Each structure stands twice: as structure tokens, then as C-alpha cells.
Structure 1
């Protein structure tokens, strides 16, 4: 089981490979660092031949998901995952209930009870499977739709 969600999808090109790569190059601002910054282009990142590693250029939520992929002659694949910086921040956020329980037991603010461990595990699971999953699902869907609009392809059902 992964701590953070990922999504991998295959697509079929509607045009040819050269046209698609050209369109992606035209709509991507070159950036070694995958950071949000205002731009007129749809994506920021690296397009290297048929491989790409990009983020959406939407300020605020575009850098949350990193899309890496490869464009073959008539199809392609894209993998979406959470950006490393956000993984670190979300990891700290996800483990805050552990720090809280340790601080509470250490300061003796409340007598230790085994139910506190159940509550802590529940909080971690809610943060992971509700908050992080929901944010990833919504933002990755938006990023993939933007990629589909730019590259002009159709999804292949898994």
C-alpha cells in the first residue's frame, strides 16, 4: 500500500506523434524546477523528446500533481503523483496526531487511555483517505483534463 496516491492512465493519440509533441512543447514553459509561477502557457516542466515531466501552470493547485509520461507513435501513458514537496508537508500533517498523543502523554494533560490510540489511528486514516485522496482526485482530474485538451487524445479504459 502506498502512503500517497498515484494514478496511471493510457491514452490513444488522435493525431500523429510529431504533432502532439510539438503541441506539448509549444504549451509548456521550460522549467527544471517544478514550481508554480504565472505564465501564459498551460504547463511548466521538461519535455525531452517523447518523455515529459510537467505540472499544470494554475497558480495555487497546479504544482500539487506532477505528470510524467511518454508519447509513443500512436499511444502514450501518463503517471500522476503528488509533488515531493507536498508529500513532505502532507506527511507532517498526517502524523500530527502522533505528535499530539506523545505530547499529551508526556505533559500528563490527561490520563493515558487505550482509546486515545484508536482515536489517533482514526485521525491518521481520515487525513489520508479523505483529505489527501479527495484533493488528489480533484486536482489530478483537472490536470489530466488540461493535458487532454492540449494534446488532443482519448483515454484508453484500463
Structure 2
């Protein structure tokens, strides 16, 4: 995990990499199938890489819980070294909301004189739980992509 600051994006970037035995074509087919099934938009695809982002244009999925276990963008890259093939999965999660909420809570406590520190701690714990949930969900996606059969 590392902090990613690029253009107007502040977030955390995660990486999962593992050796795979599937052919490159089958792997790319599994990846695009899984991303389409989960409503992610493929923005770039080549012979060894797929980049995607969250499809915010899906109006039917606008409730707040829908985005709880989703990532903002990511990529799958097939890496070949010394005759072995591995799959690298990079994904990013925005932390704008966390930063803004913590700043707002501290601002309210300073302006109104209230002690809101416990609320900040609760919010940070919930954000950490969300981060762990996203990491687990992305591991599930990675495992689904690397299975020999498509679901």
C-alpha cells in the first residue's frame, strides 16, 4: 500500500501479484468478463494489460452502500519473466472523503468549542474497516480472474 497523489486524485494504491498458469488470452477474457459483471468500465486494453475505472454513469446504483466496496480505478497487467507468467493487479481507493470529513469535524470542534474527537476516531475506524473490506473484495476478484473456469 502506498499513498498516490496524481493530478486531482489523492488515494491509496494497493498491489496484488501472483504467478498464474492460464494462457494470456484466457486470462484477458476472464478479466474483462469479471470487470463487466461488476460494472467497471474498461478504459484501455492491450495484449498484456487492462485498465479500468468505476462506472459512475450507472444511475441505478447511486445508493451509498453500493460504493462501499468499490475502487476508483485499477489495472491488470500480465508480466512474463524467465519463462513464468504472473498477474499484477494495481488498484486505487480515494481518500478525499476521509480527509474532508476529519477536517470538517476538527473545524466544527474548533469553531463551536465541542469535543468531537471521539467522532473522528469512530470515522477513522469505519474508514479502516472499509479499506480492509475493499482489499478482501479485490482479492476475491483476483481469485475469480485466475480460476480456470469463468463464473
Shorter-chain TM-score bucket reads: 0.5 to 0.7
**Is the radius of gyration larger for structure 1 or structure 2?**
1
Does the CA contact (< 8 Å) of 2:51 and 2:74 recur in 1?
yes
- Alignment partner of 1:72: what SS? strand
Consecutive unaligned residues in structure 1, runs of 5 or more: 30-40, 111-115, 154-158
Match of 1:45 in 2: 41
- Higher relative contact order, chain-length normalized (CA < 8 Å, sep 6+): 1
Counterpart among 130, 139, 146 of residue 144 in structure 1? 139
Per-residue deviation at 1:67? 3.0
Match of 1:77 in 2: 88
What is the TM-score with the length of structure 1 in the denominator? 0.60
Alpha carbon RMSD of aligned pairs, Å?
Answer: 3.2
Per-residue deviation at 1:138? 0.9
Name the structure where strand makes up a greater proportion of residues: 2
Any idea what the Cα deviations from partners look like across 1:38-97, whole Å, max 9, x if unmatched? xxx23512251122233688x5035345332312241021123214xxx32222112222
Consecutive unaligned residues in structure 2, runs of 5 or more: 4-9, 56-60
Any idea what the Cα deviations from partners look like across 1:114-152, whole Å, max 9, x if unmatched? xx5xx64x7545533x22121111122113212321332
Per-residue deviation at 1:98? 1.4
Match of 1:37 in 2: none
Does the CA contact (< 8 Å) of 2:15 and 2:91 recur in 1?
yes
